[in-house]
Amino acid sequence: NGTYTVSFIEGDGIGVEISQAVKDIYKAANVPIEWESCDVTPLLINGRTTIPQPAVDSINKNLVALKGPLATPIGKGHQSLNLTLRRTFNLFANLRPAKSIVGFKTPYDDVDSVLIRENTEGEYSGIEHTIVPGVVQSIKLITKPASERVIKFAFEYARSVNRPEVVVVHKASIMKLSDGLFVETAKEVAKSFPDIKLGFELLDNTSLKMVSDPTKYSNLVMVMPNLYGDIMSDLASGLIGGLGLTPSGNMGDKVSIFEAVHGSAPDIAGKNMANPTALLLSSCMMLRHMSLDTYADKIETAVLKTIASGPESRTKDLKGDATTSHYTEQVIKNL
Ligand code: IPM
Ligand code: MN
């Protein structure tokens, strides 16, 4: 029953406040975690955005990190810092559940979707060029190994949470080669998982069905290429009340980084207004990943109870009047 050390990337903008909220709540809940702060202010090495070595070492040593929102450094030819982190640690699967918050009403009552996004390639490969002025090309790169590992992850995840089906969301009717490869790879991977059903759905149809009746997705796991997953996970967030509520985990073979998907919101930074829920729920995913389920349950229950208790304990993004610190105090009271 020792203590675990976890790397913490507090992040920019509202990251500072929501990270403090997490730290305060963890302390009050006696979670046996020591935080190791990581400065990820990037370096530009040979024209590539690079994470400073002490941060890389910390994360490789601790294997688990929690991350607030990072603004992409402007100027100097930097690439997205968020993407650089995923790439640096080969975090190939992005796990994005969206579950309705009982006590926070939206037009959708019982969303319980799980979306797994390929996290390393597709349109995010960063391969773009101008052929001649006015004609540009952005490459959507799909490889069999990257498809295989994320689809395998989806099957294993489905099995671990007792969901009987994996649905591949794609557009192979148009993207015949790239999505076609993803689809064919899924058929091969499925052979090793005879206990899990394999389904296929076209992306446009999934969008329609998600907003018409999201309960159709409560008993399956979706897996899809990178950009589709980016878009569909925001859609799923929208069904439950927005990005302030949805957690995510960037999973690799060794390292995992759990993060709030929302941005750094510089317009409200430092104003004690930000909603720490997404980071808190991401941290609960992290605790379960570390087999610290009892602490995850304790914190998640307190968070849900706080949100359910009404507008006076909800932050502004949830149409409430609570400041970040008031919300944090309420969560601590509800532990
Ligand atoms: C996300 C974000 C990122 C993405 C941005 C910040 C690069 O939107 O995690 O979904 O596009 O993947
Ligand atoms: Mn996104």
Q: 186, 128 in Cβ contact below 8 A?
A: no
In this structure, are 117 and 235 located in the same domain? yes
Instruction: Work out how many domains the chain is built from and give that number.
Output: 2
In this structure, are 227 and 262 located in the same domain? no
In this structure, are 120 and 229 located in the same domain? yes
pLDDT digits (tens, 9 = 90+) for 78-93: 889 999 999 999 999 9
In this structure, are 51 and 154 located in the same domain? no
Q: What is the pLDDT of residue 1?
A: 59
Which residue out of 117, 227, 230 has the highest number of ligand 1 atoms within 8 Å of its CB and is therefore the one to mutate? 230
Which residue's CA is the nearest one to ligand 1's atom 3?
Answer: 82
In this structure, are 196 and 83 located in the same domain? no
Which residue's CA is the nearest one to ligand 1's atom 9?
Answer: 261
What is the residue-wise DSSP string for 69-133?
--PPPPSTTPPPHHHHHHHHTT--EEEEEEE--TTS--S-S--EEEEEEE-SSBGGG--EEEEET
User: From ligand 2's centre to the CA of 150, what distance in Å?
Assistant: 18
Which residue's CA is the nearest one to ligand 1's atom 5?
Answer: 82
Last residue of a domain, one of 208, 240, 272: 240
Q: For residues 237 and 113, give the distance between their C-alpha atoms in angstroms, rounded to a whole number.
A: 10
User: Which residue ranges have their beta carbon within 6 Å of ligand 1?
Assistant: 80, 82-83, 230, 261
In this structure, are 119 and 222 located in the same domain? yes
In this structure, are 300 and 181 located in the same domain? no
Q: What is the pLDDT of residue 73?
A: 77
Q: Which residue is associated with the tokens 């005879």?
A: 194
User: From ligand 1's centre to the CA of 320, what distance in Å?
Assistant: 26
Task: Give the domain extent around 82.
Answer: 1-92+245-335
Q: For residues 121 and 227, give the distance between their C-alpha atoms in angstroms, rounded to a whole number.
A: 9
In this structure, are 19 and 133 located in the same domain? no
pTM of the model: 0.97
Which CATH number characterizes residue 254's domain? 3.40.718.10
Q: For residues 154 and 89, give the distance between their C-alpha atoms in angstroms, rounded to a whole number.
A: 19
Last residue of a domain, one of 240, 273, 290: 240
Residue 101: inside a domain: no
If one counts every other C-beta atom within 10 angstroms of the C-beta of residue 174, the result is 12
Residue 168: inside a domain: yes
In this structure, are 140 and 176 located in the same domain? yes
Residue 86: inside a domain: yes
Q: Which residue is associated with the tokens 């058929």?
A: 187
Which residue's CA is the nearest one to ligand 1's atom 4?
Answer: 230
Residue 100: inside a domain: no
Residue 200: inside a domain: yes
User: Taking Cα atoms as reference points, which of 143, 169, 142, 174 lies closest to residue 154?
Assistant: 169
In this structure, are 116 and 153 located in the same domain? yes
In this structure, are 111 and 76 located in the same domain? no
User: From ligand 2's centre to the CA of 284, what distance in Å?
Assistant: 20
Q: For residues 4 and 2, give the distance between their C-alpha atoms in angstroms, rounded to a whole number.
A: 7
Residue 77: inside a domain: yes
Residue 167: inside a domain: yes
In this structure, are 160 and 111 located in the same domain? yes
Of the ligands numbered here, which is closest to the C-alpha atom of 69? 1
The per-residue pLDDT string of the chain (335 residues; one tens digit each, 9 = 90 and over) reads 589 999 999 999 999 999 999 999 999 999 999 999 999 999 999 989 999 999 999 999 999 999 999 998 776 688 899 999 999 999 999 999 999 999 999 999 899 999 999 999 999 998 999 999 999 999 999 999 999 999 999 999 999 999 999 999 999 999 999 999 999 999 999 999 999 999 999 999 999 999 999 999 999 999 999 999 999 999 999 999 999 999 999 999 999 999 999 999 999 999 999 999 999 999 999 999 999 999 999 999 999 999 999 999 999 999 999 999 999 999 999 99
Of the ligands numbered here, which is closest to the C-alpha atom of 71? 1
Residue 316: inside a domain: yes
Pair of tokens at residue 160:
């671990």
| Closest ligand 1 atom, residue 263 Cα | 6
| Closest ligand 1 atom, residue 226 Cα | 12
The residue type of 103 is: G
User: From ligand 1's centre to the CA of 230, what distance in Å?
Assistant: 7
Last residue of a domain, one of 240, 261, 291: 240
